[in-house]
Amino acid sequence: MLHIKANENISLQNIQIYNISGQLVRNIETSGSETRVLLPTGTYIIKAGNVIEKVIVK
């Protein structure tokens, strides 16, 4: 489970989750400041607004 929580200056209206190969895994539309996503084990790139982070799901 991946828990994404936004700071006050980051919009979570549209979140893209990519695998390490660059393929889009999920495209999430949300209206809140946090969300949870069930993902298999692996390394992902998360893009929310203009913020990009690399995460590892164990």
pLDDT at position 17 over 90: yes
Report the percent of the chain where pLDDT is more than 90. Answer: 55
User: pTM of the entire structure?
Assistant: 0.84
Condensed to tens digits (0 to 9), the pLDDT of residues 23-43 reads 999 999 887 778 899 999 999
Count how many domains the chain has.
1
Closest CA to 7 of 44, 49, 57, 54: 49
List the domain range (segments joined by +) for residue 36: 2-57
pLDDT at position 20 over 90: yes
pLDDT at position 44 over 80: yes
Q: What is the mean pLDDT of the chain?
A: 88
